[in-house]
Amino acid sequence: MDIFQTTIPDVIHFKPRVFSDNRGSFFESYNLNALTNIGISNVFVQDNQSQSSKGVLRGLHFQMGEYAQAKLVRVVKGSVYDVAVDIREGSPTYGTYYGAILSEENGHQMLVPRGFAHGFVVLEDNTIFAYKCDNFYHKESEGGIMWNDPSINISWPETNFEILLSDKDAVLPALSNCQHGFKYKG
């Protein structure tokens, strides 16, 4: 397994070992023992999947309180630029983000820990994004931050397409106006 250095120590970016031959390829998209060895010991209870067109931007989302979630994210088909934003008050990396291209081709995965907002922009039509959550979705506990918050200053990839947002994501607040309750525990 390849582990990639991140700018935020709690975000884990990795690539599982892929076995290829003339028939195609095989890899374990989830192996509890292998993930535990790299510091991911979450018990995942829900799998989610989305299909999106090029230009769709989903995020920046999180769940609060007892429904907070860590996410193990990957791309099944196509590609995205994926970001995790540290929103844990008191964290030395509060308000900063880590971003990476996740694609069908590169096979990379990323752990987005609890206390982080998560989002991605879709770089190819018909992209399928899949993720595991370590807690169940609870509508009343969802929150979000505007995708282009100038205080976070995410360097989204240069694109030649229009960003497409849901009505909900289009009106998310800036991090400075966001009530979430996440605290850094050191």
Domain ranges across the chain:
43-177
Confidence of residue 151 (pLDDT cuts 50, 70, 90): very high
pLDDT tens, residue by residue, 85-128:
999 999 999 999 999 999 999 999 999 999 999 999 999 999 99
Cβ-contact 172, 118 below 8 angstroms: no
pTM above 0.85, yes or no: yes
Query: What local confidence, expressed as pLDDT, does residue 181 receive?
Result: 87
Q: Pick the more confident residue, 158 or 54.
A: 54
How far is the CA of 95 from the CAs of 39, 91, 125, 174, 176, in angstroms?
A: 23, 9, 30, 11, 9
Whether residue 186 is predicted with pLDDT greater than 90 in this model: the reply is no
Q: Pick the more confident residue, 185 or 176.
A: 176
pLDDT tens, residue by residue, 120-134:
999 999 999 999 999
Confidence of residue 6 (pLDDT cuts 50, 70, 90): very high
Q: In the structure encoding, which two tokens stand for residue 77, read together?
A: 């088909």
Q: Please determine, looking at this structure, whether the domain spanning 43-177 carries the CATH number 3.30.365.10.
A: no
Average pLDDT of the chain is: 95
Cβ-contact 58, 156 below 8 angstroms: no
Residue 116 to residue 69: CA distance in whole angstroms: 9
Residues tagged active-site:
61, 131
Query: What local confidence, expressed as pLDDT, does residue 180 receive?
Result: 87
Confidence of residue 179 (pLDDT cuts 50, 70, 90): confident
Q: Where are the beta strands (DSSP E) in the chain?
A: 2-4, 12-15, 18-21, 24-27, 46-52, 57-63, 71-77, 79-86, 97-103, 109-112, 116-122, 127-133, 142-144
Cβ-contact 78, 50 below 8 angstroms: no
Confidence of residue 171 (pLDDT cuts 50, 70, 90): very high
Whether residue 160 is predicted with pLDDT greater than 90 in this model: the reply is no
